[in-house]
Structure 1
């Protein structure tokens, strides 16, 4: 790391326990500015972070919690401590991979038009459940210039400040929304061919997976409302797909079965046919291809509920509440 370049770290978490300790231990010794934002933990997370040398920020829990607000609070504390050029955001259930900060920092220094560098995030325990394996595949996206990043990324401070950081009120999907504004301001987002973080999703039940998919639908809907106009068209295709497969098509089939003939229920076979189609083009190995195809199709239903919830809340002007899956 250049002596003239400063990097800080912002970690967010709540009741992460041992995972937070591993996260803190993974921060390179060369980074002295570490902020941990705690969102109402009832374990010893705050004390553990402080003992590890992090500056602890306790989020005001009288206001609705969002990860976006937590990250913004951590960033504000970070820059208040002095000059910093880059910030590594990381969730408390992740650990940084060795050399990630050096690799991503070198890239951002060499590419002044790049605001964000992210890399390969892997699931720590993919063997524990099908849902963990799905997460691992979800994060395996193409390298190169891209449209968005996730919650773990190295960001250029000046770019982050230029667009006023994350949108506080978003309960999910705040990272792609931030990237949409960065790209609109002529900044670039890059995914590097480098190992970045290990993540502990800890999803072991279909209930957790269902809530996570519900939250994704909510995020897609909000993203489309905020940036769905041309030329961005952010999340528009995703919302269209969700509403067709998760809402319009099943309603259409049920109406046909009631008004015309019960034989119309056979049209629901289109769903297993879609699973077969997606699995055959998966290219991920038989087991993973079939798992991914099945849950991609099934996921349209909780995602549709998330889309509907967002628009209902928007209609009645009711603030969104956090949708937690663990």
Structure 2
């Protein structure tokens, strides 16, 4: 059985909040030979009862404290028995693919330098909406050495504990933060050429996609604040395309039209054309590897993401300067 592979006892931590049918699908995909803990963050849809009905240990987070996915994962890790040496984390809106647990454990057993492995996460219905499809594209990480991992990942318990676990206070970006600290301790991370989980984004409206993208901008800002490097450069790019270009272009255009010299409107128009030039550049890049309609969709949303991510960055820094943590940014409603 998957839970009995060599390399140490396996524990599984499932986290969820009002996932409904998605959680039922998740729990049905788990090999119950492995010790499994479900951590609930204030669900009101019967999720706790559904987990207990399957005989799982349930940890209900104290909702008088702000909850985060990071806090839930840490609580699940703490609830596992001392003999657990390997931990598979899985989000409650995901289903584990057959064979994944065995393949991931084997990879860790064969390479003692690996702290974490993950595989291909796919959207369960990428054709349902363009937003689901965008998530499916996002999950397509090339197999091989990796710098970061997402919510679904298998970790050595010892490496996880030595790195200090997930940062409880982060509302987004907690997985890359942990990955950064693992790599700082000379551990490696790998993406395996295996199917890992099916994810159900259930994004049907632009507003949901926008909130999810705002959350990613918040994560970029906090990761840049904590670790600098690549995330700082990413934040600069977001600020340029999401704020500097539109603000500068509109300001020059308005100033010229109201009272300025004649060249100011032309300058403003030229600046506002820069996003179109960047869109075409992204389209050409993506058209080399996917159909033209998909390339244009992806390029368009990559550009639309910049102002949303800038909003998330601004939200982080507003809280940072004001000494208050940002509230959780949720994009998905409860499942039926």
TM-score (norm 1): 0.95
Q: CA deviation at 1:167?
A: 0.3
Greater Rg over alpha carbons, structure: 2
TM-score (norm 2): 0.93
Distance in 2, matches of 1:284 and 1:46, equals 42
Counterpart check, 1:243 vs 2:247: no
Alignment of 1:55-204 (within 5 A): 55-78=57-80, 81-204=81-204
- Return structure 1 stretches of 4+ with deviation > 6 angstroms: none
Distance in 2, matches of 1:58 and 1:117, equals 27
DSSP-derived class of the 1:262 partner: helix
Q: CA deviation at 1:263?
A: 3.1
Seen in structure 2, the aligned counterparts of structure 1 residues 234 and 281 have a Cα distance that, compared at 3 Å, is: closer
Q: What residue is the counterpart of 1:45 in the other structure?
A: 47
Distance in 2, matches of 1:277 and 1:248, equals 19
Q: State whether residues 223 and 234 of structure 1, in contact with CA within 8 Å, keep that contact through their aligned partners in structure 2.
A: no
Q: State whether residues 40 and 61 of structure 2, in contact with CA within 8 Å, keep that contact through their aligned partners in structure 1.
A: yes
Counterpart check, 1:311 vs 2:317: yes
| One of 26, 29, 44 as aligned partner of 1:26 | 29
Distance in 2, matches of 1:4 and 1:110, equals 9
Count, aligned residues:
319
Instruction: Kindly provide the CA deviation profile for residues 81-123 of structure 1, in whole angstroms up to 9, marking residues without a partner as x.
Output: 2310100000000000000010011001111111000000000
Q: CA deviation at 1:255?
A: 2.4
Q: State whether residues 34 and 53 of structure 1, in contact with CA within 8 Å, keep that contact through their aligned partners in structure 2.
A: no
Q: CA deviation at 1:259?
A: 3.3
Distance in 2, matches of 1:252 and 1:220, equals 23
Q: What residue is the counterpart of 2:292 in the other structure?
A: 286
Q: CA deviation at 1:236?
A: 1.6
Distance in 1, matches of 2:7 and 2:295, equals 47
Q: What residue is the counterpart of 2:280 in the other structure?
A: 276
Q: CA deviation at 1:273?
A: 2.2
Q: What residue is the counterpart of 1:11 in the other structure?
A: 14
Distance in 1, matches of 2:245 and 2:7, equals 58
Q: CA deviation at 1:323?
A: 0.3
Q: CA deviation at 1:3?
A: 5.9
DSSP-derived class of the 1:235 partner: helix
Distance in 2, matches of 1:206 and 1:248, equals 24
Instruction: Kindly provide the CA deviation profile for residues 284-309 of structure 1, in whole angstroms up to 9, marking residues without a partner as x.
Output: 22222111100000100010011111
Distance in 1, matches of 2:73 and 2:267, equals 50
Instruction: Kindly provide the CA deviation profile for residues 220-249 of structure 1, in whole angstroms up to 9, marking residues without a partner as x.
Output: 000001011xxxx14122111101100111
Instruction: Kindly provide the CA deviation profile for residues 41-68 of structure 1, in whole angstroms up to 9, marking residues without a partner as x.
Output: 1111101101112100001111111100
Q: CA deviation at 1:264?
A: 3.3
- Superposition RMSD on alpha carbons, in Å? 1.2
Q: State whether residues 208 and 325 of structure 1, in contact with CA within 8 Å, keep that contact through their aligned partners in structure 2.
A: yes
Q: State whether residues 215 and 312 of structure 2, in contact with CA within 8 Å, keep that contact through their aligned partners in structure 1.
A: yes
Q: CA deviation at 1:4?
A: 6.5
Distance in 1, matches of 2:212 and 2:201, equals 11
Distance in 1, matches of 2:178 and 2:239, equals 24
Seen in structure 2, the aligned counterparts of structure 1 residues 11 and 255 have a Cα distance that, compared at 3 Å, is: same
DSSP-derived class of the 1:34 partner: strand
Q: State whether residues 6 and 105 of structure 2, in contact with CA within 8 Å, keep that contact through their aligned partners in structure 1.
A: no
